[in-house]
Structure 1
Amino acid sequence: MGKRKQDLGDVPMGGTNNAEDESDDDVDMINVDFEWFDPQPAVDFHGLKNLIRQLFDNDAQLFDLSALSDLILSQPTLGSTVKTDGNESDPYAFLSVLNLQEHQDKPAVQDLIKYIQSKASTTPSLSTLNELISQTPIPPIGLILTERVINMPAQVIPPMYNMLLEEIAWAIQDKEPYNFSHYLIISKGYEEKESKLDMEDSRPQKKTKKGGEAAQRFLFHPEDEVLQRHALCSGSYEFTHKQDDGHSDSKRAFQDLGIVTNGSMILLEAAKFESTVKAVAEYLQ
């Protein structure tokens, strides 16, 4: 069933960089009608699975993506998909939340919890998350999974978060297990990397960094900048499965430098979630 149809007007259909870094010459404008739907078990499985695979990037092979997709689709009144060609088409974006405490006995969620623990325990800025998720029993943490195809505008995100707030409130009224203590958002970013081919070339090197200077991290999702500002803790981590140097070169078709993707986690207190969603909407308006 369709939730809401919105005309976002002229929206940018650009690349992966933060919107603040894009010049007017680099962005094409197009008017698109987007429709928000509840997750549809009969039609969304493959599209949802592909978006989850994109979210986890190099480490997607560590998870049972089919089981995760089925779990998300098993709670069709919670979360949203975004489409442009009606209910029967594939989703271009999705947002959903899973109760880690409620589903901790499911193998697919157990894999997620182990993964979160392994990354949080080796990332100093995520020490608070590590302490939280290592508790027995695990607290009622709402794991937010959200992803969109590369050219989708960030403006589709605030409506999904606002709808999630409403749906959680209704679910709590109905005594359903969505009264969370924290929200954990899994996302990803990237670092620019100079090609070895360029370094071997006789031409002057491009954008080299000074010795010892830490690589600058960039965000695929501009809303993550706001989420991190309001977070109890946040941090980036390297994927367990790394790609070779040629892989980063394959992602530099339209820029001088290649990119190396990395994962990130953002932990929010439930009491601050509503105000954070409001801040995200104001930032992306």
Structure 2
Amino acid sequence: MGKRKSEADVAKNGNDVEEDSSSDEDFDMLNVEFEWFDPLPEYDFHGIKTLLQQLFDVDAHLLDLSALTDLILAQPLLGSTVKVDGKDTDAYAFLSVINLQEHKDKAFIAQLIQYLKGKANSNPALGKLSELLSQPSVPAIGLVLTERLINVPAEVIPPMYTMLIEEIQWALEEKEPYNFSHYLILSKTYTEIASLLDEEVERPAKKKKASGNTVETMYFHVEDEVLQRHALCYGGYDYTTKQDDGHSDSKRAFHELGIKPQSQAILIEAPKFQGAVEAITNYLQTASG
């Protein structure tokens, strides 16, 4: 059963659209109806695991994502998927939360905690997270796992967060273990770096453009910028798996510079989480208005 339904107009580049002299680009508007569902074990293993692989990027092989997917599907009344062709299709987006304290004795969660602890230790900005994960007993941290396909609009995200808050409240009324002290959201970012392709053809203007003192962090998902304003701490970290020197150029697309993907952790104290979710909704409503 779908949790909710909503329609969203998604801009899609069109090559056969009549040109408009008042615009630099032409767009087709593709009207897509998104549906929100509970995670469904019989349909969603492949889709959620694929999105987790996208979230953890080149470090995905270091973690047991099959077991993590099974755990997400084992709590079907908590979290959501977004689909466009009915419940028996792969998810275009998902959001769920895992209680690290409750599941710390599971080998794959212990492995994930150690991975996150190592990443927190690598960035002083994540000192508060490092302190929490270094305690003798892992606190009741809700690990928020969420990802979506690249062309899925951000407008699908606020309903999933809003429903998650409602579902956690219902679970607490049933004495289930979701009384979190903090929420930890993992996301992906990137920075632009000098391209090796440019170096090969000696284009110093482009190299100079990339060699400034300030490295700007770019966000794949706009809601992450909103969430970090409410964070106890947040910061990025490099992947453990090293890529060859040309990897950034493979992600270059239409940009002059190469792209270096990174991951980011955002730690929010539980009392501030609802305010952060409301801020996402307000931001996207203002931006689309």
Match of 1:148 in 2: 148
Output the CA distance in 1 between the equivalents of 2:249 and 2:91. 29
Counterpart for residue 162 of structure 1: 162
Larger Rg: 2
1:127-175 C-alpha deviation (Å, 9 max, x unpaired): 0111112112111000000000011101100000000010000000000
Counterpart amino acid of 2:97? V
Three-state SS of the structure 2 residue aligned to 1:25 is coil
Following TM superposition, by how much is the alpha carbon of 1:267 offset from its aligned partner in structure 2, in angstroms? 0.2
- Cα displacement (A) at 1:195: 1.5
- 2:222 is matched with 222
Instruction: Quote the residue 2:29 is aligned against.
Output: 29
Q: Distance in 2 between matches of 1:211 and 1:261?
A: 17
Question: Is residue 234 of structure 1 aligned with residue 234 of structure 2?
Answer: yes
Shift of 1:212: 6.1
- 1:235 deviates by 0.2
Aligned to 1:11: 10
Q: Partner of 1:137: helix, strand, or coil?
A: coil
- AA aligned opposite 2:37: F
Work out the CA distance in 1 between the residues paired with 2:26 and 2:67. Answer: 39
Tell me, which stretches of 5 or more residues in structure 1 are unaligned?
A: 15-22
- Contact residue 102 and residue 140 of structure 1 kept, 8 A: yes
* TM-score, length-scaled by structure 1: 0.92
Give SS of 1:152's match.
Answer: coil
Q: CA deviation at 1:194?
A: 2.2
CA–CA separation in structure 2 for the residues paired with 1:233 and 1:203: 39
Is the CA contact (8 Å cut-off) linking 1:13 and 1:152 kept in structure 2?
Answer: no
Question: Using the alignment, how far apart are the partners of 2:258 and 2:28 within structure 1?
Answer: 23
Give the RMSD, CA atoms, in angstroms: 1.8
Q: Decide which moves more: 210-219 or 253-262.
A: 210-219
Shift in CA distance, 191/6, structure 1 to aligned 2, threshold 3 Å: same
Q: Which amino acid aligns with 2:183?
A: Y
User: Post-superposition shift, 1:207?
Assistant: 5.8
The aligned residue for residue 62 of structure 1 is 62
Question: Equivalents in 2 of 1:167, 1:247: separation in Å?
Answer: 41
Deviation, 1:29, is 3.5
Q: Which runs of 5+ in 2 are unaligned?
A: 14-22
Could you tell me the TM-score, scaled by structure 2's length?
Answer: 0.91
Deviation at 1:255, TM superposition (A): 1.8
In 2, Cα distance between the equivalents of 1:105 and 1:255?
45
Deviation at 1:205, TM superposition (A): 3.2
Change (3 A) 1:211 1:2: closer
Letter in structure 2 aligned against 1:188: K
Measure, in 2, the Cα distance between the counterparts of 1:169 and 1:110.
26
Indicate the percent of aligned positions where both proteins have the same amino acid.
Answer: 62
Letter in 1 for 2:146: T
Q: Distance in 2 between matches of 1:168 and 1:225?
A: 24
Instruction: Report the number of matched residues.
Output: 276
Asked whether the 8 Å contact 1:198–1:205 carries over to 2, the reply is: no
Do 1:7 and 1:33's aligned partners in 2 also have CA atoms closer than 8 Å?
yes
Distance 1:104 1:24 in 2: 53
Task: Report the more deviating stretch, 227-236 or 250-259.
Answer: 250-259
User: Aligned partner of 1:69: which letter?
Assistant: T
- Verify the 8 A CA contact 1:191 1:215 in the aligned structure 2: yes
